[in-house]
Amino acid sequence: MRRTIPLAAALAALLVFPAASVAAEFLFAVTTDYETSGQCATIGLENPWPVQTNLEPVSSDPIVRVWRNRIYVVNRLYADNIQVIDPESGFGTILEFSVGAGSNPQDIAFVSETKAYVSRYESTRLYEVNPSTGAIVDSIDLSVFADADGLPEMSRMVLFGKRLFIQIQRIDRSTWTPLFPAYLAVVNTETNTLVDANPSVPGTQGIALLASNPNGPMLLDEGAGKIYLGETGAYFALDGGIERIDAATLASEGWVVTENALGGDLGVFTLSGDKGYAAVSSDWFYTTNLVSFRTSDGALNGTHYTTDGFVPDIEWDTATAQVFLADRKITQPGVHLFDAATGTRLTMAPRNTGLPPADLAVYRTVIAAIDTSTGSEAARSGRAAWAEPNPFNPFREPTALSFAALGADGGALEASIFDLRGRLVRVLHDAERGPTGIARFHWDGKDDAGREMPSGVYFYRATEGEGRGRVLLVR
C-alpha cells in the first residue's frame, strides 16, 4: 500500500538534512491501562528488537499516526485532542490541540503540513485542521449519513488523491447495535464538499458497504487505487469480512475474504501483495487467532498464534519482512513479532511495552542521508551501498544501485526497493558484476507491475548483506 510525498517537500528536506545524518527506524507503540493513563514506547525493527518505554505520556484511549517526521497521537474519549510528538528530539510533545470537548476524535488524515482532517465520533461535523498550528480551519457536515440518534459515528479515514474516504458506522445508541447499511462518505478536499457516490439516487449518497460495523483499519494501495476496509457486522454472525473499494469509480469490488473463511469475527488486519494477516475472535473472552490468507481468492493459509487477550492492532513492515501484533493479554501483554513470509513467531515472549499496547505504527525518518557521491568515490570511502545518479529522473536515465560487498561470489543477487511507508515496491534481479566485486542494479522508477512510481524518496537494500540507502526519484 503506497503513499506519496510532494516533490517540493522532498527537495526542500534535502537542503535541511546533512549528508551524514542517520535515519531513525522503529516501531512506535502507544500503550494504556484504559483507565487513567497512557504512555509511549519504541521497539527496534531488527533482532534483538530493543525496547524503550515511558517515553511520553498520552491519554488512556490513544491511537497513533505517522506523518513525515512527526508522530500524531489521537487522544480519544475524554481527552479530545491531537498530540504531536517529535521523535528526533527525545520524543517530546511539541504541540497539543483540542478538536472539541466531548467530540471523541477517531482519526487524522493528512493532505499537507498545513492541512489535515479529523473525524469526530460524537459530532456530525468533520474538521479540517492545520496540524502545524492546531487551528480549526473548516468543518464539513456529515449529518446526511446519521441514523435516528442524529450521529453518523464517523471513524477511520484514508486519503486518495483529492478525495477523503471516511467510515460511517451508524450505531443505534439505544442498544449499541451497528445498523445496515454502513457507508464510506467521500469528501472533495479541494472544495470540502461531499461527493455523491451514486448520482442515480436522489440526495447525496455514500458508498454502501457489504456489511455493518466498519470498525478496523483502512488500507490504501495507491498504485492500484484500491481501498481495503474491515467490517465486523453483527458479533458472532460471521457476516463481515474485508471489502475492496475502487477509489476512482467509488464502487465496491466485493469481499477479499469473509469472516466465514477466517473463522471468526474480524478485528484488525494487514495486507501486502497476495497475503494478509487478520485477528479473528469467536467468543466474549477475547480468544483471538492470528490467521493468514490469500488476497487473490480469500483462502485461509493457517493459524499462527492464539491469545486470550484483546488484539488492538497488527502492522506489517515489508522492509524487514515482519508482522507486529499488539497483544493485551492480562498475564503477559506486549508486542509479538512474526516472520511475514511464513507466519513463524520470532519472539517466544512478547516485547514488554510497559503498559499494554493500544496501537502501533512503523516510523522511519522521511528524508535522511542521501548519498550523492559517485560510485568510485563511494567505493573508495568504504561505503556499502550508493545510488548514481541521485536524485534521478527515469525519463532521462535509470539510477544505478551499487553494493560494494555483494559481487564476490557467483550466487544469485537481489535488491529490494521500498516506499516511505516501508511497503515493497520492486525486487531487482540480475545484477551487473564489476571487476572490483561491486554488484550494480538498475532501477527505472517502476514497481513490479510496471507502473511508474511517483516522485519521492525510496529506500533500497540488498536482499542479502548490509548494504542499504535512499534515492530520490524526480519526475
CATH of the domain at 456: 2.60.40.4070
* 1 domain-assigned: no
User: Of 345, 364, 383, which residue sits at a domain end?
Assistant: 364
Let me know whether 354 and 383 are in one domain.
Answer: no
* 18 domain-assigned: no
Question: What is the pTM (predicted TM-score) of this model?
Answer: 0.78
User: Of 308, 339, 364, which residue sits at a domain end?
Assistant: 364
Let me know whether 350 and 410 are in one domain.
Answer: no
Q: Distance of CA 389 to CAs 71, 371, 380, Å?
A: 32, 10, 17
Whether omega for the bond prior to residue 357 falls within 30 degrees of 0, making it cis, is no
Let me know whether 251 and 329 are in one domain.
Answer: yes
Among candidate residues 335, 354, 334, the one with its CA nearest the CA of residue 54: 354
Mean of the pLDDT values across residues 417-429? 85
- For the chain, how many structural domains are there in total? 2
DSSP symbol at 16 = H
* 421 domain-assigned: yes
Of the listed ranges 149-163, 292-306, 381-395, the least confidently predicted one is 381-395
409, pLDDT greater than 80: no
Question: Rounded to whole angstroms, how far apart are CA atoms 345 and 38?
Answer: 27
Mean of the pLDDT values across residues 314-341? 93
Let me know whether 117 and 236 are in one domain.
Answer: yes
* 13 domain-assigned: no
Mean of the pLDDT values across residues 389-400? 85
Contact call for residues 123 and 76 (beta carbons, < 8 A): no
Query: What's the pLDDT score for residue 435?
Result: 60
Query: What's the pLDDT score for residue 108?
Result: 98
147, pLDDT greater than 50: yes
429, pLDDT greater than 90: no
- In the numeric block, which cell numbers belong to residue 353? 511495552
Let me know whether 338 and 416 are in one domain.
Answer: no
Let me know whether 348 and 395 are in one domain.
Answer: no
Residues 6+ away with beta carbon under 8 Å from 397: 389
DSSP 225-292: TEEEEEE--STTS---EEEEEETTTTEEEEEEEEHHHHTSEEEEEEEETTEEEEEEE-STT--EEEEE
Let me know whether 360 and 379 are in one domain.
Answer: no
124, pLDDT greater than 80: yes
Question: Rounded to whole angstroms, how far apart are CA atoms 225 and 217?
Answer: 17
* 16 domain-assigned: no
Let me know whether 359 and 437 are in one domain.
Answer: no
* 95 domain-assigned: yes
Let me know whether 142 and 282 are in one domain.
Answer: yes
* 48 domain-assigned: yes
User: Of 364, 396, 416, which residue sits at a domain end?
Assistant: 364
Mean pLDDT of the chain: 86
154, pLDDT greater than 70: yes
Let me know whether 277 and 423 are in one domain.
Answer: no
Query: What's the pLDDT score for residue 437?
Result: 67
Among candidate residues 123, 127, 124, the one with its CA nearest the CA of residue 102: 123
Contact call for residues 390 and 372 (beta carbons, < 8 A): yes
* 396 domain-assigned: yes
CB burial readout 280-289, b (16+ within 10 A) else e: bbbeeeeebb
Let me know whether 357 and 394 are in one domain.
Answer: no
Let me know whether 147 and 269 are in one domain.
Answer: yes
Identify the domain containing residue 398 by its residue range. Answer: 375-473
CATH of the domain at 206: 2.130.10.10
Which residues make beta-bridge pairs with 364? 25
